[in-house]
Structure 1
């Protein structure tokens, strides 16, 4: 390697890219330059009103990066989870499976966190750590044996680096420029996402109703105290619906949309209203045939997109960041080139099996539970009931959801510094 200080450029300022930037700078300090390029860095980071499920392993990573303290008082632990399976018109929605919410005593398997709060904390920590935050996009790049030349859009600045990380989303232009093919298919479903206000306390319970059109998830959010002292109870919903029905729903009068929401949400939490305007996102499956190219690594949605049925999309991206950070840090400490083919092969091997398994699982679950055929419903409900009576299997599933089951997780996900 050159005696010059190595530079890594990260294209895309989402949560996975920010976490990778911070992990690298905290581990290596002035021994490395990290530049993050994203036009969204011009905007207020609190603008993301979506809520995310942060698994226990990802929370351990954020604690190790000294981020969790900044969001902990706004994070809602998921204390238990209830799963039902029914048709929309069924008068009773029976519970087939329940999960306790702890992977270890006192450690919830997941927390719900506002995306804006987490983004703001990561941006501030990256700035303080010395990450170069550049509010511009990467236009193109040219890899060569000695490094990679990265050309930005604003002003045509060229950054010479040893590695470019493409964290620019599911429609990654950098992935296309690298010639990495994308395997994908649409689900003909869309996810309607919103924050809901309700009259009664959710008590930290997450609920997933499996309905013929797709899963309807109710995810607890931290209550807010109003100026007059009243408590405002809140939940996030991920309402999966057939794509052809979504325009009609979103164009409906608010009262009509609330009626449809109530049919799925139920009456257990009292009167409902919208805190945020519902937004719809088309759902699909996608995975890159390779996660690396010459001096380039894919991260997060640029590498994989899965169905939200298990709430693991962001957690997979944070797992990517933890794995890549560990591999790059170890390579630099050993004097290896972090953009070399053998180092990037380590990243490919570290992530391929996990991503493939999670993609197949979420795809299979969605196809299974969106099928309204009576024999299929009977078999799956029998299966849910059997799992509910097997504590050992339930514990395995909850650890899987927490990102703590099987294999050796990257050190950051185990709560260990690099």
Structure 2
């Protein structure tokens, strides 16, 4: 079974790349080992450059219609507002961060891919072998359930691995990974929104550590609490109580629709392009979820990679396409380093501080928020505009 491009991983990054390539006439197969979609909210923040990318495949309008437009963030400490940050100046087309559950984003992308090619997504296949002979890549996989498992084989001119932080393809090719661990642990959950902050994102900067709060569609609000150690078996009641202790707000634990605990690490492959196999998204660079950069960074990887793949498939000169893949590798690895630095700053902002140092930090935030120029600079950094490739007219999402 041969195709132009084989994408391993049918999450948001793999599906987006598939849509880009199918629109331009490439034949694509997407292998996804899950039989059904994960319906947890998971990644929720879509930044303006990523919305511009999603506009390229025709789903940005639907995403905006279904999501919550976060146009302002605010920092609170001790019950008082320390500062506010507007996203109004960060983008003409999308002057906001969009909050949308990952499963809905994946649904929109999958619908678009199936419109372009109804047979392109193959579920229930796990890659077990990847062989690159220099002219074609062969992928062997296991398909079906544990009781009716059988071997399948695919051939492709190029393979793109978008199979997540625990990438099977990266392991099969033995591509080195540089990892960092951090002393930061988080517990997060989604609860009914008490309606106190509208559609704002709120950062509660408290002595015990940060609490983050984001609106979601359907009257839901996400709460994220920084911990000094792994959350263990903590549940919705414990999370709600932690939020109350630090903010004075008590989410209703009975309304919990999602709970997740995670410890932070980052990882970066030493190369994203290996012969005729390319790694993108979390398979190439795992970034702290704090700041919501990982999924967005993967989309920007795909956006940068698509024209290079198309040029290669069109029979461009090998030395030219090889150079383009090398430039892609260097550029996207550098983008991941920048994103990692930003995530490290976000985590430092949320670590516990004694009262005197907390007061000094709050004064600095207040001064920055009071300066329009600094406010805009911070907003652009937070919304990944430093990694943007271009702009769309403001009518793009209407």
In the superposition, the TM-score normalised over structure 2's length comes to 0.86
Q: Which residue of 2 aligns with 1:35?
A: 29
Aligned pairs for 1:275-290 within 5 A: 275-290=256-271
Match of residue 109, structure 1, among 96, 100, 107? 96
Corresponding position of 1:409: 389
Whether 1:236 aligns to 2:195 is no
Q: TM-score, normalised by structure 1?
A: 0.82
Q: Output the CA distance in 2 between the equivalents of 1:338 and 1:265.
A: 58
Give the C-alpha shift of residue 352 in structure 1. 1.9
How many Å separate the matches in 2 of 1:368 and 1:192? Answer: 17
Indicate the residue corresponding to 1:227 in structure 2.
none
For 1:321 and 1:300, the matched residues in 2 are separated by 8
Which residue in the other structure is 2:152 paired with? 157
Q: Distance in 2 between matches of 1:325 and 1:412?
A: 19
Report whether the alignment pairs 1:204 with 2:199: yes
**Which of 310, 323, 340 is equivalent to 2:304?**
323
The corresponding residue for 2:137 is 148
2:232 is aligned to 247
What's the CA shift string for 1:344-367, capped at 9, x where partnerless? 212112212211111122224423
After superposition, the CA RMSD in angstroms is 3.1
Equivalent of 1:70 in 62, 68, 71:
62
Q: 376-385 vs 74-83, which deviates more?
A: 376-385
C-alpha separation in 1, matches of 2:209 and 2:96: 24
Conservation of the 8 A alpha-carbon contact between 1:331 and 1:338:
no
Post-superposition CA distance 1:128-152 (Å, at most 9, x none): 2116211112111111221211112
1:216 equivalent in structure 2? 211
Residue 119 (1) aligns with residue 119 (2): no
Counterpart for residue 120 of structure 2: 132
2:188 aligned to which of 184, 190, 193:
193
Q: Tell me, in whole angstroms, the C-alpha distance in 1 between the residues paired with 2:276 and 2:362.
A: 48
2:5 matched to which residue of 1?
8
Bigger Cα displacement from structure 2, 179-188 vs 160-169: 179-188
CA distance in 2, matches of 1:214, 1:344: 42
Distance 2:323 2:99 in 1: 37
SS of equivalent residue, structure 2 residue 191: strand
Residue matched to 2:370: 389
Give the count of matched residue pairs. Answer: 387
Instruction: Point out where structure 1 has 5 or more consecutive residues left out of the alignment.
Output: 87-91, 225-232
1:277-306 residue CA offsets vs partner (Å, 9 max, x unmatched): 422123211111211212111111111112
Question: Which ranges of structure 2 fall in alignment gaps of 5 or more residues?
Answer: 144-149
- Structure-2 residue corresponding to 1:98: 84
User: Which residue is 1:177 aligned to?
Assistant: 172
Single out whichever of 330-339 and 52-61 deviates more from structure 2. 330-339
- Is this contact kept in 1: 2:184–2:347, CA < 8 A? no
Alpha-carbon shift at residue 400 of structure 1 (Å): 2.5
Does structure 2 retain, via aligned residues, the 8 Å contact 1:338–1:344? Answer: no
How far apart are residue 330 of structure 1 and its match?
A: 3.9
